[in-house]
Structure 1
Amino acid sequence: MTLTELFPLLLVGIIIIAVAVLFTFIPVMLWISALAAGVRISIFTLVGMRLRRVVPRMVINPLIKAHKAGLGVTTNQLESHYLAGGNIDRVVNALIAAQRANIELSFERCAAIDLAGRDVLEAVQMSVNPKVIETPFIAGVAMDGIEVKAKARITVRANIERLVGGAGEDTIIARVGEGIVSTIGSSHDHNKVLENPDLISQTVLTKGLDAGTAFEILSIDIADIDIGKNIGAELQIDQAEADKNIAQAKAEERRAMAVAQEQEMRARVEEMQAKVVEAEAEVPLAMAEALRSGNIGVMDYMNLKNVMADTDMRDMISKLSKHENDEDDNDSK
């Protein structure tokens, strides 16, 4: 086959490859779908999206949806939101839902809410259909020392104006919990709280707990209420136990001091007895020295011995008399 015969075949192949590349790079079918839906968009705009690394279908499909809903959203707005990392489809769905619910919501605010990380479609739906947040059991202690546990159901509605920068559900639960604890704590008798649990919800609602949050509190209902521990009695028991331990410690301290004083007195007595024994041991030596030196005579020494013997005899007689008197007293008893 000659070159002249191959040329038409090569030309056809090149045309087919060029058309395939063209249809791959340029979303012609998406352009046709947009035109069919009444969205006027240039083919060069789609090529520009490819060059800007924007997926055309991620912009065109929400644009068609917005055009059918009658929203005045432009391609540049959607494309810029896509490049900022937002979810175009969710933003358009939120705008459509807000329009159907007669909620005033602009594209700029909707895009800001989406870029802030909040689910703007869920927020719009919550504005129409309020959400119920249930708290765990929150315990408070009344003035009579009885613990009261309460569980609340908080009905909230999303506040579109405060979605950017507003606090979330955790803040609502924390504030309601604080209000429940303070209301129970200010009650003199826990029975009043049990009889009128609506006092808790009324008191909490008057405090404006939704300030600075992304929600508007519609109602607070006490779902369940229960009695807990007798905290006052437990505190008194703990205080009594602490007082007892302190008294025992002080008594032990006094006993230890008494034992120490007794031991000190015994040591002093033993020391004095030792000194007496030591002094008595020196008496015979002193007497011998006195006899040798002539300070006393033998008769003086004998008279001293007689006096000592007489004194010992009298001591024995007095002890025997006392012993006999004690025996007579025992016999008489």
Structure 2
Amino acid sequence: MEPTYLTLILIAGGIILLAIFFHYVPFFLWLSAKVSGVRISLIQLFLMRIRNVPPYIIVPAMIEAHKAGLADITRDELEAHFLAGGNVEKVVHALVSASKANIELNFQMATAIDLAGRDVFQAVQMSVNPKVIDTPPVAAVSKDGIQLIAKARVTVRANIRQLVGGAGEDTILARVGEGIVSSIGSSESHKSVLENPDTISKLVLRKGLDAGTAFEILSIDIADIDIGKNIGAELQMDQANADKNIAQAKAEERRAMAVALEQEMKAKAQEARAKVIEAEAEVPKAMAEAFRSGNLGIMDYYRMKNIEADTSMRETIAKPTGANTQKPI
């Protein structure tokens, strides 16, 4: 019985050792690389495990590059790019696609694009198959005051050399929108824009909107133009209403000043009448004092009364007819 247990233990130990060996030394992966013509040793595969570099990513990438004729890509470069946080598979796919499409792209540029956060493989595909970007509705006003709402379709191709540090799609859309607004705004009439919408795309293309971006604009096509509001008429109406409100405010101000001036004049008139009444009240006192001092005689007093009566009669005669219709009480 003991030899049987020992045999089982030896078999189990052998299986464990083989599992450990094949885990740290991917023999079948090495065999696949050997058959594909890629030179790599089992020791290098073991050292990849020690360096926490997955051989199942590096070796297939080396095989793909070797089969595509990219012999200048080395294992050390692929490992360094992986340790830097790059995507080895996309870089190799991009290099193979660029090589087949006769696009100039080396390993250093591809890894730089990948580490910059851009999808280098998608960029190569976009260089071969241009991408169409639809702009949101752009509203602009022509010189005759009519608003036009335009939609454009921009065909772009990736610019490999500008992918690192170049602006993205949002910048392209913003510049195209700005060009559409400028083109419509410089038109004398909205009818001319509706008749020849291609003038917008021609003017926008001449501006070189793809400068400093990661794309090359191939064409700008106006997909749709709709007529919006009559902005010029609305602005004139708003200006007229504003002028009317200003005029009303100024008229109200003048009316208030006139009312205040009238009240002031009435107050002054009342004050003058009060002074006259006060002065008239002093006349009897002055006459009494004149009688006492002998400066006024009785004949002088009668002459003064006669003059007052004569003056009152003349004023009554001078009044228009019907002025004294009120009966005395």
TM-score (norm 2): 0.91
Question: 1:323 corresponds to which residue?
Answer: 321
Q: Distance in 1 between matches of 2:209 and 2:11?
A: 74
2:191 corresponds to 1:221: no
Question: Following the alignment from structure 1 to structure 2, what is the Cα–Cα distance between the partners of residues 234 and 228?
Answer: 12
Once residues 167 and 310 of structure 2 are traced to their aligned partners in structure 1, the CA distance between those partners, rounded to angstroms, is 109
Aligned partners of 1:70 and 1:275: how far apart in 2?
A: 121
1:14 deviation in Å? 4.2
Tell me the residue number matched to 1:117. Answer: 117
Please say if 1:206 is aligned against 2:206: yes
Q: Distance in 2 between matches of 1:326 and 1:274?
A: 25
Q: For 2:171, give the aligned amino acid.
A: T
Match of 2:192 in 1: 192
2:298 is the counterpart of 1:298: yes
What is the alpha-carbon distance in structure 1 between the residues aligned to residue 141 and residue 324 of structure 2?
71
Question: Is the partner of 1:218 in helix, strand or coil?
Answer: strand
Aligned to 2:150: 150
Find the aligned partners of 2:46 and 2:163 in 1 and give their Cα distance: 36
Partner of 1:182: 182
Root-mean-square deviation (CA), in Å? 2.3
Partner of 2:307, secondary structure, is helix
SS in 2 for 1:323: coil
| Offset, 1:268 | 0.8
- Find the residue that maps to 2:271 and give its secondary structure: helix
Give CA-to-partner distance per residue, 1:133-163, whole Å, 9 cap, x none: 1111212221111122221111111111211
Aligned amino acid, residue 124 of structure 2 = V
The aligned residue for residue 98 of structure 2 is: 98
Note the residue ranges of structure 1 that are not aligned, 5 or more in a row.
Answer: 328-333
Question: Could you tell me which amino acid in structure 2 is paired with residue 323 of structure 1?
Answer: T
Further displaced range: 157-166 or 265-274: 157-166
One-letter amino acid of the counterpart of residue 52, structure 1: R
Confirm or deny that 1:29 pairs with 2:52. Answer: no
Is the alpha carbon distance of 1:7 and 1:226 closer, same or farther for their aligned partners in structure 2, counting shifts above 3 Å?
Answer: closer
Q: How far apart in 2 are the matches of 1:129 and 1:8?
A: 64
SS for the counterpart of 2:103 is coil
Letter in 2 for 1:137: P
The separation in 2 between residues aligned to 1:193 and 1:317, in whole angstroms, is 86
Corresponding residue SS for 1:208? coil
Residue number in structure 1 paired with 2:166: 166
Question: How far apart, CA to CA, are the structure 2 residues paired with 1:124 and 1:5?
Answer: 63
Q: Does the residue aligned with 2:139 lie in a helix, a strand or coil?
A: strand
Comparing 212-221 and 6-15, the one that deviates more: 6-15
Distance 1:140 1:295 in 2: 98
Deviation, 1:95, is: 1.4
Moved more, 6-15 or 270-279: 6-15
Bigger drift between 109-118 and 298-307 goes to: 298-307
In the TM superposition, residue 188 of structure 1 has moved relative to its aligned partner by: 1.2
Indicate how the Cα distance of structure 1 residues 326 and 204 shifts in structure 2: closer, same or farther if over 3 A, else same: farther
Counterpart residue number, 2:43: 44
Paired AA for residue 92 in structure 2: V
Change in 2 beyond 3 A, CA 1:325/1:57: closer
Q: Secondary structure at the match of 2:165?
A: coil
Corresponding residue number in structure 2 for 1:66: 65
Separation in structure 2 between the aligned mates of residue 298 and residue 326 of structure 1, nearest angstrom: 33
Range with greater deviation from structure 2 (156-165 or 306-315): 306-315
Displacement of 1:25: 2.6
Given the alignment of the two structures, is residue 87 of structure 1 paired with residue 73 of structure 2, yes or no?
A: no
Partner Cα distance (1:159, 1:5) in 2: 71
C-alpha separation in 2, matches of 1:233 and 1:24: 79
Q: How does 1:13-24 map to 2 (within 5 A)?
A: 13-24=12-23
Give the match's secondary structure for 2:256: helix
Normalised TM-score (structure 1): 0.90
Q: Equivalent residue for 2:314?
A: 314
| Deviates most, 158-167 or 274-283 | 158-167
- 1:79–1:274 distance in 2 versus 1, CA, 3 Å: same
